[in-house]
Structure 1
Amino acid sequence: MSRVLVCDDEPHIVRALKVVLREAGFETVTAETGEEALDRAAVRPPDAAILDLVLPDIDGIEVCRRLREWTEMPILVLSAVGDEEEKVRALEAGADDYVVKPFGPRELVARLQAALRRAGGSAADPVLRADGLEVDVAAHVVRVDGGEVHLTPIEFDLLKTLLRHRGRLLTHRALLTEVWGAAYEHDTATLRTHMSNLRRKVDPAGERIRTDPGVGYRFA
């Protein structure tokens, strides 16, 4: 049973999430503050985390950033704020997804399950190599010119997809559908943010991942 850390200072939200997650087969551990969430995650690392953006001490963005210093577990951010700037801030801090309150229980569970699947990988998947990059899909390890690089699950999936189709132009819609699912096929802002983070880590010189403006990306 997957264990999910839920951090929110609104008791009714926490109660609702505990019920929804329990019915979906998840075990939950809760925290009311950012510091408490970080402590609980450190003592017994969960399989995923759901974080509210507005907390009484440090905000969810900072919690996400500090978790990303040592874990690749899927992180979903919850907030009543739905503007694009806040979404980008959360994604840049390492969040895998962003859910706006009020949310549908089925949607939240579906997004959490999708994030866990992306993080899981498959033992049958190969090691992909190209242009100084090595992606061990089963071990979820990426090396750039021999040195190991930390990627979030979303960044890992994007790189894996580009490598499997290297040389081929993948449209924004194709990448969004492959990595996030059909419900995200028009969310190009999310894709741009994650691609920017990925490039910074594996292609700072801009020689591996090419952009066709307004169309998509390809691994050269």
Structure 2
Amino acid sequence: MSQLPRSATKFTLQRTAAVRSRKVLVVESNPAMAEIEVLVLATAGHEVISAPTAEHALTLARRWNPDLVLLELDLPDLPGVHLCRQLRQRSPIPIIAVSLDGNPDTIGDAYAAGACDYIPKPLRSGELLDHIRVHLTAPQAA
């Protein structure tokens, strides 16, 4: 079996390091859940900021320019689907919707509003990081 060239290994390591430093905006109204998500993402090497409401998320997104948004669909001030649509009009960044509601209509609405992925709650750390890694390494995220 042939060995990979050194440059291939080096490229992979550089690419992984670049992904770890990406900015993730967590939009989550439940403070305990937001704290867990921020901790998991920060431990994985991401720069993370959280917002408990749609209004706060829009302000942060304008000022901070995140590379990815993790968006709870059940927000206190505006449905997450509406926020998703507003974020999508502003930027092509990946938006991953999360929700306890497994209703296919809700999930379909999130995709129609511009979400690129959906993860059901409760979130599993490994699964969350895998989804984020996929979207941050996709061509549109480069």
Measured against the shorter chain, the TM-score band is 0.7 to 0.9
Q: CA deviation at 1:93?
A: 0.2
Counterparts of 1:70 and 1:37, CA distance in 2: 13
Percentage of pairs with the same residue: 35
Partners of 2:67 and 2:141 within 8 A in 1: no
Kept in 1, the 8 Å contact 2:26–2:70? The answer is yes
Which of 119, 125, 131 aligns to 1:99? It is 119
| Corresponding residue for residue 111 of structure 1 | 131
Alignment-derived partner of residue 102 in structure 2: 82
Q: How does 1:20-99 map to 2 (within 5 A)?
A: 20-99=40-119
Once residues 48 and 12 of structure 1 are traced to their aligned partners in structure 2, the CA distance between those partners, rounded to angstroms, is: 21
Q: Higher Cα Rg: structure 1 or 2? A: 1
Q: Which amino acid is the alignment partner of residue 120 of structure 1? A: A
**What secondary structure sits across from 1:37 in the alignment?**
helix
Name the counterpart of 1:16: 36
Taking the aligned partners of 2:141 and 2:121, their CA distance within structure 1 comes to 27
Cα 1:51–1:120 change in 2 (3 A) is: closer
2:15 aligns with none
- The equivalences for 1:182-193 within 5 A come to none
How big is each residue's C-alpha offset from its partner over 1:44-88, in whole Å with a ceiling of 9 and x where there is no partner?
210000011111100110111001112011101110011211111
* Structure 2 counterparts to residues 118-133 of structure 1, below 5 A: 118=138, 119-121=140-142
Which runs of 5 or more structure 1 residues have no equivalent in the other structure? 122-220
Q: Is the 8 A contact 2:94 2:141 kept in 1?
A: no
The separation in 2 between residues aligned to 1:20 and 1:73, in whole angstroms, is 21
Q: Which runs of 5+ in 2 are unaligned?
A: 1-20
Partner Cα distance (1:120, 1:97) in 2 = 14
Question: CA RMSD for the aligned pairs?
Answer: 0.9
Q: Which secondary structure does the structure 1 equivalent of 2:126 belong to? A: helix
Structure with more strand by fraction: 1
Find the residue that maps to 2:89 and give its secondary structure: coil
> Do the aligned residues in 1 keep the contact of 2:28 with 2:34 (CA within 8 Å)?
yes
Displaced runs of 4+ in structure 1, greater than 3 A? none
Letter aligned with residue 42 of structure 2: R
Paired residues in the alignment total 121
